[in-house]
Structure 1
Amino acid sequence: MKNIFLTLSMLFTSMSSTLAQESQNSLRAPAYPLITIDPNMSAWSPADKLYESAVSHWSDNRPLPLVGVLKVGNTRYRFMGTEDIELMSLVANGEDKAWEAKYTTTQPQGNWTAKDYPDNAWLVGKGAFGTAENESLSKTNWTTEKIWVRREVMLSEAVTGKNVFLEYAHDDDAEFYINGIKVLTTGQATGKNRRVKLEPAVLESLKKGKNVLAAYCHNRGANGFLDMGLQVERSGKRYFDQEAKQVYADVQPMQTNYLFDCGGVKLKVSFTAPLFLDDLQLLSRPINYISYEVTTAKPEAIAIYFEAGPHWGLNLPSQEATSTPYTRDGLVFAKTGSAAQNILGRKGDHVRNDWGYFYLVGEQSNSKTAVGSASALRAAFVNEKPVKDGKQEGTQLSLTQTANVNGTWKGKIALGYDDVFAIQYFDQNLRPYWNRDTKQTIESQFNAAFAEYETIMAKVKAFDQNFMRDYQVHGKAYAELCALAYRQAIAAHKLVESPNGELLLLSKENDSNGSIGTVDITYPSAPLFLNYNPELVKALMNFIFYYSESGKWQKPFAAHDVGTYPIANGQTYGGDMPVEESGNMLILTYAIACAEDNASYAQQHWNVLTTWADYLVEKGLDPENQLCTDDFAGHFAHNTNLSVKAILGIASYGYLAKMLGKDQVADRYLSIARDMAKQWEQMANDGDHYRLTFDKPGTWSQKYNLIWDKLLGMDIFDPQIRAKEVKYYLSQQNKYGLPLDSRETYTKSDWILWSAVLADSEQDFQAFVSPVHAFMNETVHRVPMSDWIFTDKPERRGFKARAVVGGYFMKMLAEKYTRR
């Protein structure tokens, strides 16, 4: 026996060494992608070890219970998720239902957090509090800079000895108190659906009868939001206390791979999303795989158990769910969804679909599914007894596979989601792309997924290997960041077909305001899609063109968005970004033309492109007080980087005209762009760098928009401008990257990767990339990659799970255009 364990130990060591030699991803990800289907159906692991934390929804941070256990003989090793006891609402927050509170927007006197504080003069409102036009959960419109809130709650009994959590949301800085005791201070940050366990002193203060939750929030710009409630842990027995030992975690573009030691038995688990951007049917198939490989040194009775909560088909765990197991065409299914099935009835940020159905599926030959309470399912697995007819009380799902193993055993399951209808597009409900002809069923998709499994996995392996090899030409750090960004950028979109047959790839602005089809999300994410399939970049723009060309949007510049996900009936964002969005659309239209070596797409939309170009000619050189894509920084005028975008947007129009044989138009607009660029250089020059705004010497900013001049060979700006900027940027870097501008220490990681490509030397490029990699490797915030981060500390300023990390692919896009 001792020799067997020694042999296995040597095997694990050898495998780990081999992985390092093959340049697998050594990045300690902020969070690890597991299931990546679409904006509202993606689950990540926020921990170094897969079993250290509950699997979580990627944008609202709440658990999507998914547990994995390997049984070796009679010993059970939990390798995935936590056996969390269910949390119940003790005091509902505003997402569950509106709550009444007293509030003021002027600094209160005295100890305003105390239980007996006289708040009779305060205003009365409903929570949650927030900027109503951009926060769909806001019940009271809060538009001032600061707010103080007192919420009186009545408890039917004391909670001493129980695990109680404050569930809260804030945008931006907030402080929370219970009966005058401070629970936490968030610092300068934002967050939704966060939770903190209450300390004993706070628990002691929570008595039967009246209690007071109090909070202060400081909105530093753009949206404001404040919400709070209490949750309590339900008591229950635990069955899976013993954890496997994780040997490694490895994130590849389409797979996340783990290796575990289960008492000397090796378990390799892979989470696969076959997101091939040139195969739209497969790209839109709402199914991911969990595959595994068990290796033993002697004969063992092995069983593997997967359990999922009904939360996968709900917005809130308190909603009523229906779950059922069934068998069809050689597959076994465990299915769950909301009882209400309010199709497309919920929109906004930090929400999930609570319509349609989630599935846990295996092959009938070696899989058993069941539905019941968590305790009943776990007891049945432990005792090797069936859950009778799947009729036990409860809506948890389980799937079990068993084998007698002497050597290697391979298996797989699939998880999927059928949302029935995916998007409402100008008042017409659209089905997901995979079922656009209404002739498909989710069962047929699962059958195809299992039938094509071997072929798909071979393609995935080849893609991942080639990806890591090719991207490492620009440094291992760059390859590792892009590998982590790949699924994140894609899963933040939904693919559908419009009523007139156009392809639509609609983004959700995760962890921001939930907008759908945001142009300034399209712009930074475009490098990924331009790299792999320009048709998808058209799909990111078609709805904006339609919005203007249909007359539904009548302003002389491009819209910001087409609604709030998943309702795309027209812009819902509170402020326009005239220069920003018009420049984005023009530049990307020209980028498509360059990728395809023709301007036919531009020809289809020439009239509206002309309107936008003329707007930029009039308004673009010295922009008025307005928002740009970095809207969190607020309105400001004379933005030099925005001016660069306007000038290159005009130039893009000129080059498109040239490609279409409109030579006189081309000459006119290219001449205007070059004249503007000369004026820009004089107006923005600040010695060894260029200013943040034309009117403020001593300031600076990243001029990431300049990249298109270099990338597309426009020859509009003097190349020395780029060289000067890059040299200055290198002198301004902090430990975790280059600040966005001279005002703050925070930055946007996607823009750093664009600014890095302005550099002509590989050494300088990697000098910009390395700090971003260090941030992702060391950040204390365990969430899908954030793009809004601090450069002087390993903390995110805000945002997570957003598509904009597709901008990391700018370097590879530059190579692609160079090879044209």
Structure 2
Amino acid sequence: MKNLLTTMALSVSLLCNAQPSDIFKPGKSVDLRVPSTPLIVSDPYLSIWSPYDKLTDGTTEHWTGAPKPLLGALRVDGKCYRFLGQNKLDLHAIVPMTDVEIWEGAYTLKHPSGDWTNINFNESGWERGKAAFGSPDMPRISTKWKDENTDIYVRRSFDISNLDITDDFYLIYSHDDVFELYLNGEKLVSTGETWKDNVHLKLSDAAKKMLRKGKNTIAAHCHNTTGGAYVDFGLYREKKDAVKFSTEAVQKAADVLATSSYYTFTCGPVELDLVFTAPQLIDDLDLLSTPVNYISYRVRSTDKKEHDVQLYFETTPELTINESTQPTTACTFSKNGITYVEAGSIDQPICDRKGDGICADWGYAYLAGVNGAGKSTSLGDYSEMKRAFIKDGRLLHPKTKWITRQPENTPAMAYVHNLGKVSSNGKSDFLMLGYDDIYSLEYMYEKRMGYWKHDGQVTIFDAFEKLRDNYLPIMNRCRAFDEMIYDDAEQAGGKKYAEICSAAYRQVISAHKLFTDKQGNLLFFSKENNSNGCVNTVDLTYPSAPLFLTYNPDLAKAMMTSIFEYSASGRWNKPFPAHDLGTYPIANGQLYGGDMPIEEGGNMVILTAAIAKIEGNADYAKKYWDLLTTWTNYLAENGQDPENQLCTDDFAGHWAHNANLSIKAIMGIAGYSEMARMLGYEDVADKYAAKAKEMAVKWEQMANEGDHYRLAFDRKNTWSQKYNMIWDKMWGLDLFPNNVIEKEVNYYLTKQNLYGLPLDSRKEYTKSDWIIWSASMSPDKATFGKFIDPLYKYVNETVSRVPISDWHYTDSGKMVGFKARSVIGGYWMPVLMDKTYENR
């Protein structure tokens, strides 16, 4: 197979030596409205998104939904236009949440009789308890409530002595899962099944009329479906003298490509171009892993006049903590031509907190401005910093140090560039935002640094200086890479498919952490975001692999090597691979409650074979041949008609005799045969090739249901996506007789819904990565496009505004669960096939 990386590197080199391109305009025009736009991303912890159509519609947030505020404004001839984020509310607590005060309320776990939400309800039979209410894994829990499929009812009464309904009032609440909230008997919140922290609900004029002088009551009901449980809420009044960037810039354009998100705004008589770039070039492991992003900006006059312009950018130490109550420290300093504002938690519990929906609370965030005329950074009072900018376009004199022990005392970390007089020729520059996690994760009881640090030889300041000194070449390389990702996808599957891949790229990369073990092995660990928090899960590696197999197989190996080594060490001695290596960021061994023998065995053998075919040799396989043999023999003995085993789609329920799981076993055996032949083991190759063929023929007979094939061998009138069969087509083995693939694809087309092809006959939900694998079995691009159209419609229209959810309902387009996951690397299966056929 042609060396794709060499080809890409050559094209980038040629571009970087040419005239600079317009880095403020996307290399490709994109129509897709992404559910959430990546802004500042690097790994599962440095991850900031905007889940809105307009960048000004709300506060930027972590993939978990936790606020990670970025704020931007442009001051033009003395008038300020907000172009990024939402004004942080300057609120006074009437009844505070537990981040300020551990409050007490009445509660019951039984369904109450009578009008329990009414202000005058007799709650004497209820228990008294302190907030927050929920499971022990949640923050600030004082009253435990954790059982699945149970309910809690909470009432909280309070007095208001001075009531002015011209004020703005906000209910703030956190919940997990289904939540309802009432103010003096009036229902104001009904969430459905979801979980969110610190939701701000501004009271409407009608809702404000429900407030009264004297006694008031907030009542809440929460149902815990599964997993964590949580209830906390409060009422707040906005301060009358709050400082705001009230005027919104007009957003004219938004385009998301592989490494960059592009925006254009009108700010009165000038236009602002804004580009967020994560230089995650897949062939440059240093850049891929360096946790520093660019924010580029250009301002130009649109009325042929000069205008006086200053740009303001801000974040806060909230970037560095998991809970708002965690104390932080921040400081300012300059080093080698860059001025920094640094912030981090005071406690620095490195790799201490493990789990799923959490943010980092160790390491240090850096807002970095390159020294130059008119540019400055500062640290200081949150409101006064903006007041100074609004007044005359400057920052407050920086505080050298700031300690925060209460959320309301959080400072502003700010950057200003006084661009001076701006004409139609425009002026441009950039700043940087980064995060040094000190140590990234714990692997086999040893804390390991990110790859970019090279075991401590490179500091975060070295990284910032490298990105400063190479800004234009890196931006041009990113532009060339974006165009390559788009063009390859367009060639493989059309414009809509290319836009989906462009939107997915940073999500896939940023769900991983790259590092090396103490032997120097390259390791690339995923976090199972919004699923269970597992680290380096094998059945996430499998669907995500097409992106890496296409452009850098070393990263595919880096996801697999630790699983091989775990078994080779003797710490895992079962005849199939482990499911995971722990819960992120602790990777000391499998923690998942159940094994997936055929699933994980098939995944590892198939991917090893895929690497061998791409590289044209089985050198990687040879190192672990004994393990591959053991796993393949397990597949041969148990894979024809699987028992009641878990598979990667375990959320759908695990049926015995799973036909798609059987295909995985057959393809694993076939892949082992292919590798054996590469190694010169002809007898072994022939034996396992014959076994795979024999099993495939028998499979066709067992699963056949006329015009399609069953979900499970013993279940009549069922069907499922047979996405594991894609390897038979890609490798040209033709194991399955009687046009199985053709019949399946034709049948799928009869089962599609508005937002895609269901996973199987049991439910209307689907997995979008598997849709694209199944669609890749299509005989031509026109047929492939019939599967892509409804999937594009889902991504473009879903009301679930999260980093793309790979598990959604095909009738409503709403997510079921899962977001920000690496598995959508599977979207590159058609590109991988296109490259494979091109070089076969």
Normalising to structure 2: TM-score of the pair?
0.88
In the aligned structure 2, how far is the partner of 1:174 from the partner of 1:23?
A: 42
Give the % identical residues: 43
Q: 1:111, CA displacement in angstroms? A: 6.5
For 1:287, the equivalent position in structure 2 comes to 292
String of CA shifts for 1:753-794, please: whole Å, max 9, x gaps: 111101111111011001111111111122111111111123
String of CA shifts for 1:418-444, please: whole Å, max 9, x gaps: 000101112100011111321211111
User: Equivalent residues in 2 for 1:579-590 (5 A)?
Assistant: 579-590=598-609
The RMSD of aligned alpha carbons is 3.2
1:268 counterpart letter in structure 2: D
Q: 1:266, CA displacement in angstroms? A: 1.5
Question: Is 1:760 matched up with 2:768?
Answer: no
Asked if structure 2 preserves the Cα contact closer than 8 Å seen for 1:138 and 1:225, the reply is no
In the aligned structure 2, how far is the partner of 1:787 from the partner of 1:99?
A: 40
For 2:15, the equivalent position in structure 1 comes to none
User: Equivalent residues in 2 for 1:370-389 (5 A)?
Assistant: 370-384=378-392, 385-389=394-398
2:221 counterpart letter in structure 1: A
In the aligned structure 2, how far is the partner of 1:148 from the partner of 1:431?
A: 43
Aligned with 1:789 (options 800, 808, 811): 808
3-state SS in 1 of match to 2:506: helix
Closer, same or farther: CA 77–545 of 1 in aligned 2, 3 Å: same
Question: Is 1:401 matched up with 2:401?
Answer: no
3-state SS in 2 of match to 1:360: strand
User: Equivalent residues in 2 for 1:490-505 (5 A)?
Assistant: 490-505=509-524
3-state SS in 2 of match to 1:248: strand
User: Equivalent residues in 2 for 1:405-484 (5 A)?
Assistant: 405-406=422-423, 407-473=425-491, 474-484=493-503
For 2:19, the equivalent position in structure 1 comes to none
String of CA shifts for 1:645-694, please: whole Å, max 9, x gaps: 12211222222222222222222222222222122111111111111111
3-state SS in 1 of match to 2:554: helix
String of CA shifts for 1:213-271, please: whole Å, max 9, x gaps: 5434363xxx5332121155553513311111111001111111111111121211111
1:401 counterpart letter in structure 2: H
In the aligned structure 1, how far is the partner of 2:613 from the partner of 2:582?
A: 30
Closer, same or farther: CA 467–119 of 1 in aligned 2, 3 Å: same
For 2:653, the equivalent position in structure 1 comes to 634
Asked if structure 1 preserves the Cα contact closer than 8 Å seen for 2:250 and 2:265, the reply is yes
Q: 1:570, CA displacement in angstroms? A: 1.7
For 1:8, the equivalent position in structure 2 comes to none
Normalising to structure 1: TM-score of the pair?
0.90
Q: 1:68, CA displacement in angstroms? A: 1.0
In the aligned structure 2, how far is the partner of 1:344 from the partner of 1:95?
A: 26
Q: 1:210, CA displacement in angstroms? A: 9.7
In the aligned structure 1, how far is the partner of 2:92 from the partner of 2:682?
A: 68
For 1:163, the equivalent position in structure 2 comes to 169
In the aligned structure 2, how far is the partner of 1:123 from the partner of 1:635?
A: 40
Aligned with 1:55 (options 60, 74, 82): 60
String of CA shifts for 1:22-44, please: whole Å, max 9, x gaps: 75111111111111111111111
Question: Is 1:593 matched up with 2:612?
Answer: yes
String of CA shifts for 1:373-393, please: whole Å, max 9, x gaps: 221111121233542342587
Q: 1:97, CA displacement in angstroms? A: 9.0
For 1:249, the equivalent position in structure 2 comes to 254
String of CA shifts for 1:367-422, please: whole Å, max 9, x gaps: 21111122111112123354234258752200011123232101100110000010
3-state SS in 1 of match to 2:352: coil
3-state SS in 2 of match to 1:337: strand
Closer, same or farther: CA 519–127 of 1 in aligned 2, 3 Å: farther
User: Equivalent residues in 2 for 1:3-18 (5 A)?
Assistant: none
For 2:708, the equivalent position in structure 1 comes to 689
Asked if structure 2 preserves the Cα contact closer than 8 Å seen for 1:336 and 1:357, the reply is yes
- Bigger mean CA offset, 619-628 vs 227-236: 227-236
3-state SS in 1 of match to 2:357: coil
Question: Is 1:300 matched up with 2:307?
Answer: yes
3-state SS in 1 of match to 2:528: coil
Aligned with 2:43 (options 16, 19, 38): 38
- Bigger mean CA offset, 444-453 vs 506-515: 506-515
Question: Is 1:217 matched up with 2:223?
Answer: yes
Structure 1, gaps ≥5 residues long? 1-15
In the aligned structure 1, how far is the partner of 2:753 from the partner of 2:142?
A: 37
Aligned with 1:229 (options 221, 228, 232): 232
Closer, same or farther: CA 202–545 of 1 in aligned 2, 3 Å: farther
3-state SS in 1 of match to 2:323: coil
Q: 1:165, CA displacement in angstroms? A: 3.2
String of CA shifts for 1:594-652, please: whole Å, max 9, x gaps: 11111111111122222222222222222222321112213322211111112211222
1:372 counterpart letter in structure 2: G
Closer, same or farther: CA 250–56 of 1 in aligned 2, 3 Å: same
3-state SS in 2 of match to 1:764: helix
Asked if structure 2 preserves the Cα contact closer than 8 Å seen for 1:94 and 1:137, the reply is no
Asked if structure 1 preserves the Cα contact closer than 8 Å seen for 2:756 and 2:787, the reply is yes
Q: 1:103, CA displacement in angstroms? A: 6.4
3-state SS in 2 of match to 1:554: coil
String of CA shifts for 1:287-320, please: whole Å, max 9, x gaps: 1001011112322221111010211111122321
Q: 1:155, CA displacement in angstroms? A: 5.2
Q: 1:811, CA displacement in angstroms? A: 0.4
- Bigger mean CA offset, 83-92 vs 273-282: 83-92
Closer, same or farther: CA 661–202 of 1 in aligned 2, 3 Å: farther
For 2:364, the equivalent position in structure 1 comes to 357
Aligned with 1:266 (options 254, 268, 271): 271
2:468 counterpart letter in structure 1: F
For 2:579, the equivalent position in structure 1 comes to 560
Closer, same or farther: CA 207–140 of 1 in aligned 2, 3 Å: farther
User: Equivalent residues in 2 for 1:726-741 (5 A)?
Assistant: 726-741=745-760
3-state SS in 2 of match to 1:237: coil
In the aligned structure 2, how far is the partner of 1:424 from the partner of 1:751?
A: 32
Aligned with 1:343 (options 344, 347, 350): 350
Asked if structure 2 preserves the Cα contact closer than 8 Å seen for 1:102 and 1:124, the reply is no
Closer, same or farther: CA 305–249 of 1 in aligned 2, 3 Å: same
Q: 1:191, CA displacement in angstroms? A: 3.3
For 1:677, the equivalent position in structure 2 comes to 696
Question: Is 1:193 matched up with 2:211?
Answer: no
In the aligned structure 2, how far is the partner of 1:382 from the partner of 1:428?
A: 49
3-state SS in 1 of match to 2:229: strand
- Bigger mean CA offset, 81-90 vs 652-661: 81-90
Aligned with 1:610 (options 629, 632, 639): 629
Q: 1:99, CA displacement in angstroms? A: 9.6
Q: 1:715, CA displacement in angstroms? A: 2.8
Question: Is 1:318 matched up with 2:321?
Answer: no
Structure 2, gaps ≥5 residues long? 1-21, 403-408
